[in-house]
Structure 1
């Protein structure tokens, strides 16, 4: 049975995680051209073209992780029953998104460990934005988690 929505930011975070998971699944089905377009790198695209399972397996694991993160956000939103360790999990998820969003800063400033590419800029911006949505939701739901 669903509870009443108590934290709309976490509902939004759940939706964003779900969309990210679906995008990763689409990349698996889109094949090498999609790996290239979405910035996974030439190595991943070539492995996919060669019929290796590694790109699809890795991308499926990422999609599964994002779906689980969406479940935690949905749980924190109050729409579904609380998941175990929700507060700790949502803190970790938020930190991962925010840190992934900030990783482009040293790349842009000092070209460390490599120069930032357009993929790094846009994917970092997306991750940072999703991290902020999680953070706002986490702050709002803190007492109820």
Structure 2
């Protein structure tokens, strides 16, 4: 078992649950977590759009969690594990770096959102990368 990939899977699962909280608790959570005023207003109006978008994010993060747990040896080996985990790691790292370039033009979000979410994504990506490098031969 690989502790870094177990941590990576747990972190992605936690973020998926937090996104579920946005659907359940609504506009206040969308605002708090920086989804943008537009998403919060849509949630207040009862639009299905925030739920659909957030549900998609939940599914993606849940799959990423499962792939990390699979690579760690916690659950059965999933198909395309090397490719999937490499892509997941790359996406977290790229999102972390690219998000920092959006601080000055935040696209409906606050600069603080881009700073904090980028730091979080970079940390997640680094944890994935360490775990992936350690497990590569076993995948």
TM-score between the two structures when normalised by the length of structure 1:
0.90
Residue 94 of structure 1 corresponds to which residue in structure 2? 89
Q: Does 2:119 match 1:125? A: yes
Q: Residues 19 and 57 of structure 2 are in contact (CA less than 8 Å); yes or no, is this contact kept in structure 1?
A: yes
In 1, the alpha carbon distance for the partners of 2:99 and 2:90 equals 15
In 1, the alpha carbon distance for the partners of 2:42 and 2:105 equals 26
Q: 1:81 aligns with which of 49, 55, 76?
A: 76
SS of 1:103's equivalent in the other structure is helix
SS of 1:107's equivalent in the other structure is coil
Task: Give matches, 1:1-40, under 5 Å.
Answer: 5=1, 7-40=2-35
How far has the Cα of 1:105 moved from its partner?
3.2
In 2, the alpha carbon distance for the partners of 1:117 and 1:31 equals 22
**Stretches of 4+ aligned residues off by more than 2 angstroms:** 104-108, 111-116
What is the aligned-residue RMSD (CA, Å)? 1.6
How far has the Cα of 1:112 moved from its partner?
5.4
Residue 130 of structure 2 corresponds to which residue in structure 1? 136
Q: Residues 74 and 80 of structure 1 are in contact (CA less than 8 Å); yes or no, is this contact kept in structure 2?
A: yes
TM-score between the two structures when normalised by the length of structure 2:
0.93
Give the total of aligned pairs. Answer: 138
The structure-2 alpha-carbon separation of the partners of 1:24 and 1:35, relative to structure 1 and needing over 3 Å to count, comes to same
Which whole-Å deviations, capped at 9, do the CAs of 1:12-45 have from their partners, x for residues lacking one?
A: 1010011010010011111011111110001101
Structure 2 residue ranges without an equivalent (≥5):
none
In 1, the alpha carbon distance for the partners of 2:36 and 2:100 equals 20
Q: Residues 39 and 50 of structure 2 are in contact (CA less than 8 Å); yes or no, is this contact kept in structure 1?
A: yes
Which whole-Å deviations, capped at 9, do the CAs of 1:91-112 have from their partners, x for residues lacking one?
A: 000000001100133335xx35
